[in-house]
Amino acid sequence: MDGSYLSHAGIVAASRSFVCIRPLTYESAAEAPFLESLFRGRSGKLENTVFAMLGPDAKTRLCRTGRSPDFAFRSPDEMAAAMKEILKKYPDARSIARPLPLLANVRLGLNVSSCDNTPLAIIYSPDKITRNRLVQQLAPMAWGKNHIGQVQYCVATTAEELKPLGLESSKPGILVVQPGAYGDKGLLISAVDVTAQTDRVAEAVDFALLVSEFQQKTMQVHVPQGRRLGVDWKTAIPVTDPGRQGGRRSRN
């Protein structure tokens, strides 16, 4: 799906004027009822993926909802054309500051960045004021043409959250990590402290983009290997997708 639709050049270009949201599905009890209201599969329950395009009121459906874009569109070109037509109905008249696109926590950050084959930038500080400053500092870079879509971001408030990185201790700052193949661990590649200027942060991120290595994954190989290794993902709420019952699923 991602290769044929969401990575299509026309869709990527049109998406710059949309608010794009990655739902948490089985990782959020609060989001699940809303996703269920958009689409239920044959089981009548929330399934593993949901795709929708909604108006600015977050209620008006602009296309058929389903599990993926091909529920609504016959091809990526058709979807790109439809997005251009939608934008004509909702002209963007205001210029607004875009916040840093944060994943919910380090646990999800590692898993999502592993799925997307991108480094993960972790903003780590026990101090709320410092965290907020670093988040605001990173936002313009994250949306810049050289980094948009290339890195995932999350926040850590305690050293305990950094255990998957195998670090005995870490100073507050921005940690740029390569996630493991199954999103349960990470390798620290570069780091800057809380006083670093934006250009130094960009250098740390660029270094991670340069040296990170990701293997191409296929379900036929990746999932059975994960099962052999005993790698499981415990969801926050029960899995109701009939194809993934049991409350656990292989990572990625």
pLDDT digits (tens, 9 = 90+) for 119-174: 999 999 999 999 999 999 999 999 998 899 899 999 999 999 999 999 877 899 99
d(CA 158, CA 34): 31
Find out whether 120 and 189 touch, Cβ atoms under 8 Å. no
Q: What is the pLDDT of residue 93?
A: 62
What is the average per-residue pLDDT within 43-53? 91
Q: What share of the chain is helix, strand, coil (3-state, %, to 5)?
A: 40, 15, 50
pTM of the model: 0.86
d(CA 154, CA 48): 22
Question: Residue 252 pLDDT > 80, yes or no?
Answer: no
With bands split at pLDDT 50, 70 and 90, how would you rate the model's confidence at 213?
confident
Q: What is the pLDDT of residue 214?
A: 80
What is the average per-residue pLDDT within 191-219? 89
Name the residue ranges covered by the structural domains of the chain: 2-89, 106-211, 220-249
d(CA 13, CA 3): 15
As a whole number, the mean pLDDT across the chain is: 89
The pairs formed by 34-42 with CB atoms below 8 angstroms and a separation of 24 or more are 38/65, 39/65, 39/66, 39/67, 41/67, 41/241, 41/242, 42/242
Q: Backbone phi, then psi, for 59, in 5-degree steps?
A: -125, -40
What is the average per-residue pLDDT within 78-82? 96
d(CA 243, CA 251): 15
Q: What would the CATH number be for the domain defined by 106-211?
A: 3.40.30.10
Better-scored residue on pLDDT, 86 or 222:
86
